């Protein structure tokens, strides 16, 4: 299969054809083992430790109206994670940046969800020694997706707090973006059983930690707060801190109790998948007056404005 199939141009790399299966995959392009492939053909070996042991790190950046948002911060976090997990790739940072841009350009998506993954891989001799594994790099670009749909963005999400405890940071370091999601998925099922739309789970001290793919903020008396401990330091969370600085708002990372969450004036969650998303109901409690709060709206507007600012975003060359 040639790239022309995807509406792209001749000077982009060739897309090779591979094993197909009949399931529906989102339209998109992946890169793995040195080749660009349609999403439906990007398959990982069942012997890869990323699959067998969740031995992997990854990052997700988005492209909005043809521009990567804060790509450097995502690459920094990805490379830091690989270093901490003692993984090595044959690609430089510049090469990876080029591969991500090629995936987006080949997909043709102007708004995309772009993932870069490094798995432990496996050893050709099936050795149990992780030092003998050949680490594998995978990247892909699919249509942009959000934690909250357009109706939820308008009226605010209904979140339930699950008793599930996030995996302890001294077991799995949450600052290395990882696929240890059984706690988060369990929280999600608890939330669905409750009749809510998504979940927040606890840290090991019983404070609020984070949710499946997002951080959480409260606004109380004009001051913002987000959990400091046992969470992934999200790039969107960092962006909220940066926007607060620009807007003269104060934001702190500190322990956040369940009561503080329920008594907040405003609550919102943050993720590359959706940006800043309002929460208007937690468990049985209506937050504030039940409408999306003014600080949340102000930060959301600023957040999306920054997507066309060259200081915060980089254009994809679709050629």
Q: Is 270 in the site for ligand PLP (CB under 6 A)?
A: yes
Residue nearest to ligand PLP (CB): 234
* CB 61, min distance to ligand PLP, A: 8
**Which residue number, 36 or 303, has a Cβ lying nearer to ligand PLP?**
303
C-alpha closest to that of 44 among 107, 117, 104, 97: 117
The mark string for 214-253 relative to ligand PLP (x by CB under 6 A, - otherwise) is xx----------------x-xxxx----------------
* CB 50, min distance to ligand PLP, A: 16
Q: Is 272 in the site for ligand PLP (CB under 6 A)?
A: yes
Q: Is 71 in the site for ligand PLP (CB under 6 A)?
A: no
Q: Is 295 in the site for ligand PLP (CB under 6 A)?
A: no
- Which spans in the chain are helix H? 49-53, 71-84, 93-107, 150-155, 182-194, 235-247, 258-262, 294-305
Q: Is 207 in the site for ligand PLP (CB under 6 A)?
A: no
**Which residue number, 198 or 272, has a Cβ lying nearer to ligand PLP?**
272
Q: Does residue 65 come out as left (phi exceeding 0), alpha (psi in the -120 to 50 range) or beta?
A: left
- Tell me the CA distances in angstroms from 225 to 22, 153, 215, 216, one per residue in order: 46, 21, 11, 8
Which three-class secondary structure state does DSSP give residue 95? helix
C-alpha closest to that of 190 among 216, 163, 222: 163
C-alpha closest to that of 61 among 154, 151, 177: 177
How many positions of this chain bind ligand PLP (CB under 6 A)? 13
Name the residues that contact ligand PLP, by CB under 6 A: 60, 210, 213-215, 232, 234-237, 270-272
């Amino acid at each position: 299969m040639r790239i022309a199939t995807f509406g792209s141009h001749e000077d982009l790399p060739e897309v090779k054809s591979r094993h197909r299966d009949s399931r529906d995959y989102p339209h998109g392009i992946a890169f793995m083992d040195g080749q660009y492939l349609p999403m439906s053909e990007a398959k990982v070996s069942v012997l890869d430790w990323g699959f067998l042991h969740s031995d992997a790190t990854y990052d997700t950046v988005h492209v909005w109206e043809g521009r990567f948002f804060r790509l450097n911060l995502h690459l920094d976090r990805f490379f830091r994670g690989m270093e901490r997990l003692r993984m090595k790739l044959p690609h430089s940072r510049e090469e990876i940046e080029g591969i991500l841009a090629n995936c987006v350009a080949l997909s043709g998506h102007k708004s995309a969800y772009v993932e870069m993954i490094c798995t432990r891989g496996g050893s050709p001799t099936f050795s149990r020694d992780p030092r003998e594994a050949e680490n594998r790099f995978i990247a892909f670009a699919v249509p942009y997706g959000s934690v909250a749909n357009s109706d939820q963005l308008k009226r605010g999400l209904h979140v339930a707090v699950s008793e599930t405890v996030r995996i302890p940071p001294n077991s799995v370091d949450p600052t290395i973006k990882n696929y240890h999601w059984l706690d988060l998925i369990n929280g999600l099922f608890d939330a669905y059983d409750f009749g809510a739309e998504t979940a927040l789970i606890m840290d090991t001290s019983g404070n609020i930690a984070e949710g499946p793919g997002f951080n959480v903020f409260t606004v109380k008396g004009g001051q913002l707060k987000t959990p400091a401990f046992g969470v992934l330091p999200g790039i969107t969370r960092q962006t909220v801190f940066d926007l607060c600085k620009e807007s003269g708002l104060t934001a702190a990372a500190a322990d956040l109790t369940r009561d503080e969450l329920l008594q907040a004036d405003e609550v919102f969650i943050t993720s590359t998948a959706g940006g800043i998303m309002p929460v208007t109901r937690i468990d049985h409690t209506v937050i504030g007056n039940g409408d999306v709060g003014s600080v949340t709206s102000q930060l959301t507007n600023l957040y999306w404005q920054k997507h066309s600012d060259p200081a915060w975003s980089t254009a994809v060359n679709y050629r």
